[in-house]
Amino acid sequence: MAVGWDAAAVVAQWPGLPPLAGDTSADACVVGLGASGLAAVEALCGRGLSVVGVDAGRVAAGAAGRNGGFLLGGPEPPLHDAVAAWGPTAVELYRETLAEIDTLEATLPPGVLRRTGSLRLAGLPGPAVDDVEEAAREREAVDCAAHAAALREHGIAVETYDGDLGCGIFLPDDAAVNPAVRALSIAARLEHRAALHEHTPVLRVEAGTVTTTRGVVRAPVIIVAVDGRLDQLLPQLAGRVRTARLQMLATAPTAPRLDCPVYGRWGYDYAQQGADGRLYVGGGRDLFADAEWTHATDPTPQVQEWIERVAARMAGGPVAVQDRWAASVGFTDDARALCVRVDDGVVAIGGYSGTGNLVGPVAARAAVAYATDGTVPPPYFES
User: Domain range spanning residue 347?
Assistant: 4-67+179-241+334-373
Residues 15 and 141 reside in one and the same domain: no
Residues 309 and 198 reside in one and the same domain: no
Residues 184 and 248 reside in one and the same domain: no
* In the predicted structure, residue 2 carries a pLDDT above the cut 80: no
Residues 224 and 235 reside in one and the same domain: yes
Residues 57 and 187 reside in one and the same domain: yes
- Per-residue pLDDT tens for 66-107? 999 999 999 999 999 999 999 999 999 999 999 999 999 999
Give residue 263's pLDDT.
98
Residues 25 and 160 reside in one and the same domain: no
Instruction: Share the mean pLDDT of the chain.
Output: 97
Residues 320 and 338 reside in one and the same domain: no
Indicate the pLDDT class of residue 1, thresholds 50, 70 and 90.
low
Determine, yes or no, domain membership for 140: yes
Determine, yes or no, domain membership for 79: no
Determine, yes or no, domain membership for 235: yes
Pairing of the two strands 28-31 and 70-71: unpaired
Determine, yes or no, domain membership for 164: yes
Residues 166 and 311 reside in one and the same domain: no
Give the CATH number, domain containing residue 363.
Answer: 3.50.50.60
Q: Residues 6 or more apart from 119 whose CB is under 8 A from it?
A: 161, 165, 168, 169, 170, 171, 260, 261, 262, 263
- pTM of this structure: 0.97
Give the CATH number, domain containing residue 250.
Answer: 3.30.9.10
* In the predicted structure, residue 195 carries a pLDDT above the cut 80: yes
Mean pLDDT across 289-312: 97
Determine, yes or no, domain membership for 379: no
* In the predicted structure, residue 238 carries a pLDDT above the cut 60: yes
Q: What are phi and psi of 298, to 5 degrees?
A: -95, 135
Determine, yes or no, domain membership for 300: yes
Residues 352 and 249 reside in one and the same domain: no
Give residue 247's pLDDT.
98
Residues 265 and 252 reside in one and the same domain: yes
Give residue 314's pLDDT.
98
Determine, yes or no, domain membership for 9: yes
Determine, yes or no, domain membership for 111: no
**Over pLDDT 90: what percentage of the chain?**
98
- Per-residue pLDDT tens for 315-339? 999 999 999 999 999 999 999 999 9
Give residue 4's pLDDT.
87
Mean pLDDT across 121-145: 97
Mean pLDDT across 358-363: 98
Total number of domains in the chain: 3
Indicate the pLDDT class of residue 118, thresholds 50, 70 and 90.
very high
Residues 152 and 273 reside in one and the same domain: no
Residues 196 and 233 reside in one and the same domain: yes
Sign (positive/negative) of CA torsion 126, 127, 130, 133? Answer: positive
